[in-house]
Chains A and B, each alone.
Chain A
């Protein structure tokens, strides 16, 4: 079983739409959780960390459910510039060890 599982999509939504991505992780020892954004042929860039209490950054809301080992990302009021691949990422330790990446969910926002 893969460490991190994501629905690859693609998701095609109009501007202004709300879209949600889901992710599950297999190792209960995972301690740090992130959403990264990756544009075509570019390196991943941190979108936001995910905390147990849930957290919001502007139009982006991340949620974590440790009991079901489930992570989500909600994007409200989608913009054309949100088109990218969104990577669910986990790390097992509290120190900065290796990251485990999901294969990513592709989002296209159309005008």
Chain B
């Protein structure tokens, strides 16, 4: 089946540093990648939608200069958390569409747990 590989699975960084999270589609082309964030005991909230070769679309309240998304190829999308602060500590997860003909064609990465100290 379709697989999205997400790295790293967890990261601890100091305040003020930047962290890059990668999502790769291993056996399909992901023209669209969704980036979500989940705080403890909360639902997954969409941060942005990235389309290959174009600028990402950010949800209201998400700072595009802080959360940089690059979707330069059909198999790789990256999210960079710049100048991270403790309040950015969260579970970040990507999701790609795998089959336009089916309603359940979503594949999730395994998630990245970010802790900013």
On A, residues with C-beta under 8 Å from B are 4, 8, 32, 34, 41-46, 49, 87, 91, 94-96, 98-99, 101-104
1/0 contact string of B30-57 vs chain A (CB within 8 Å): 0010101000011111100100000000
Residue ranges of B at the interface with A (Cβ–Cβ < 8 Å): 32, 34, 36, 41-46, 49, 91, 93, 95, 97, 99-100, 103-106, 108-111, 113
Q: A39: shortest Cβ distance to chain B, in Å?
A: 11
- Contact A87-B113, Cβ < 8 Å, known A95-B100, A96-B97, A98-B49: no
CA distance A66 to B20 in the complex (A): 41
Tell me if B106 and A103 are in contact (CB < 8 A): no
B104 adjacent to A46 (CB under 8 Å): yes
A4 touches B43 (CB 8 A): yes
Alpha-carbon distance between A17 and B53 when the two chains are bound, in angstroms = 50
Distance in angstroms from B6 CB to nearest chain A CB is 8
